[in-house]
């Protein structure tokens, strides 16, 4: 599957899908309507200092009530596929029986998408664990993997006749280490042992669901989505910096890629963590039961690759620390890495987004090539860029009556970010990577987790007071690219 180039434009491969992505808690609102009950994010947003501005997802983009209009907007943009997540707290509130009203919402969404000629791309878990299950131990206990499997099969019962692409998890690194070790995300714990346990039980739940869905319907396209970094040494001639890259890559990338594709956790990282917290590793090793890794390594059809930026890493702290890309909230957090010592980010002068994340398109090309060469090709697994996007401070121009009223959103930086990363995806395709699609994050401005509503990623502007949607310049540019199937 390769791209073609002519004198004026670069064309995308035949069959390449253009889409956008969202997550249930970030856009739906209706937090306690029609039987939905609290998730860990409903609880976490009530913790003082945890979220910028004290924001929460109670209303968000009100997508729950405005879903048909939002699908019509997707059709207007020309999206070929839409990656959305279903809310566990809505479908099986408190981890209990199926809630018919919750399932009905997603059934109607799927019908709207199909009616608009848009392929549904369903993600089962985007971080909204029912709070009642968290109070029983959350992802640190094995039982949650089984409850996750029940939830997944309930959705397949309802949607399996119409949805063919199923993603189990979104970014288990965030759902485990950022959430149970770093404390930046819900449930906000700060424990090395809990992060390790959560990572295993998330992956175990993934493998169980893949096996069960495969047994039900061998034609389904099954997979999961991982977030990745591309780590480079600050000094390639310094063995300590090179080793820092190994440790960062191991704790961010290989910790999830290795068990999924090779049926084992990276032994070097286990020993790195053992050196700083032997008790945590002992708990983790006790939790990995015979046969677990075989389940986790159940073959998948598609690996979703989420990429925002890479990391320049040094074993020693730099004289001038780079600007932080984390929210400056009042609640204390710690490093999400189980073995964080000697991992320091270094400024390299790249452009930055409004979130202070570096803009590094070529990192996406290198990442796709590395995953393809080292993992996916031999497994017969294809790739899709399931998240890529940027937060910028949009320039909003209020138009007078002569200009048609409303507002105009000029976000040239985001449009350029989009073009650059689509080009990077094409570079990977040209190099032989079987990459089947690209999903911009995000369709709508939305609740951006610990950043609240302070940062906007959407190609569609949302006025949170009125819920009016306005397509930004970047949205119009993406629509043009989709129509032309070319850069």
Tell me the catalytic residues. 171, 387
Place of tokens 């919402």: 105
Among residues 443, 412, 434, the alpha carbon closest in space to that of 79 is found at 443
Structure tokens at 4: 């073609």
Q: How far apart are CA 123 and CA 218, in angstroms?
A: 18
- Evaluate whether 341 touches 277 at the Cβ level (below 8 Å): no
Kindly give the pairing relationship between strand 17-21 and strand 469-471. Answer: unpaired
Among residues 271, 124, 268, 145, the alpha carbon closest in space to that of 200 is found at 145
Q: How far apart are CA 412 and CA 391, in angstroms?
A: 12
Letter string b/e over residues 44-61, b meaning 16 or more CB atoms within 10 A of that residue's CB = bbeeeebbbeebbbebbb
Q: What is the CB-side half-sphere exposure of residue 485 using CA atoms within 13 A?
A: 11
Q: How far apart are CA 175 and CA 188, in angstroms?
A: 10
Q: How many helices (H) and strands (E) are present in the chain, helices listed first?
A: 18, 17
- Evaluate whether 478 touches 459 at the Cβ level (below 8 Å): yes
Structure tokens at 155: 């959705």
């Amino acid at each position: 599957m390769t791209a073609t180039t002519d004198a004026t434009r670069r064309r995308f491969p035949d069959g390449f899908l253009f889409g956008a992505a969202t997550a249930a808690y970030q856009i739906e609102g209706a937090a306690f309507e029609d039987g939905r009950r609290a998730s860990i994010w409903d609880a976490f947003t009530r913790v003082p200092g945890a979220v910028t501005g004290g924001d929460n997802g109670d209303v968000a983009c009100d997508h729950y009530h405005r879903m048909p209009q939002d699908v019509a907007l997707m059709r207007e943009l020309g999206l070929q596929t839409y990656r959305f997540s279903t809310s566990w707290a809505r479908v099986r509130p408190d981890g209990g029986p199926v809630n018919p009203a919750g399932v009905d919402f997603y059934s109607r969404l799927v019908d709207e998408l199909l009616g608009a000629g848009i392929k549904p791309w369903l993600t089962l878990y985007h971080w909204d664990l029912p709070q009642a299950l968290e109070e029983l131990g959350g992802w640190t206990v094995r039982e949650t993997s089984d409850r996750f499997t029940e939830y997944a099969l309930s959705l397949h019962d309802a949607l399996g006749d119409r949805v063919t692409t199923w993603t189990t998890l979104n970014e288990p690194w965030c759902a485990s280490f950022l959430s149970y070790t770093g404390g930046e995300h819900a449930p906000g714990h700060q424990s090395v042992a809990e992060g390790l346990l959560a990572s295993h039980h998330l992956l175990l739940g993934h493998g169980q669901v893949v096996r069960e869905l495969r047994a039900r319907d061998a034609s389904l396209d099954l997979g999961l989505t991982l977030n990745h970094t591309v780590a480079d040494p600050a000094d390639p001639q310094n063995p300590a910096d090179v080793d820092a890259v190994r440790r960062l890559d191991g704790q961010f990338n290989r910790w999830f890629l290795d068990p999924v594709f090779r049926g084992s956790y990276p032994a070097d990282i286990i020993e790195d963590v053992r050196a700083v917290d032997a008790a945590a590793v002992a708990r983790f090793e006790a939790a990995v039961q015979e046969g677990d890794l075989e389940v986790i390594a159940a073959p998948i059809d598609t690996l979703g690759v989420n990429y925002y930026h890479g990391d320049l890493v040094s074993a020693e702290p730099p004289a001038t620390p780079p600007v932080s890309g984390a929210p400056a909230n009042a609640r204390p957090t710690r490093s999400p890495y189980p073995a964080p010592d000697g991992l320091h980010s270094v400024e390299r002068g790249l452009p930055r987004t409004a979130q202070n994340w570096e803009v590094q398109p070529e990192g996406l090309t290198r990442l796709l090539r590395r995953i393809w060469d080292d993992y996916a090709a031999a497994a017969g697994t294809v790739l899709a860029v399931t998240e890529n996007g940027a937060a910028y401070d949009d320039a909003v121009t209020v138009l007078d009556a002569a200009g048609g009223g409303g507002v105009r959103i000029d976000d040239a930086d985001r449009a350029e970010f989009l073009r650059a990363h689509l080009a990077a995806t094409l570079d990977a395709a040209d190099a032989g990577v079987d990459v089947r699609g690209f999903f911009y994050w995000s369709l709508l401005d939305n609740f951006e987790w610990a950043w609240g509503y302070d940062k906007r990623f959407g190609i569609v502007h949302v006025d949170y007071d009125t819920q009016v949607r306005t397509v930004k310049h970047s949205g119009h540019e993406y629509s043009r690219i989709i129509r032309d199937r070319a850069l």
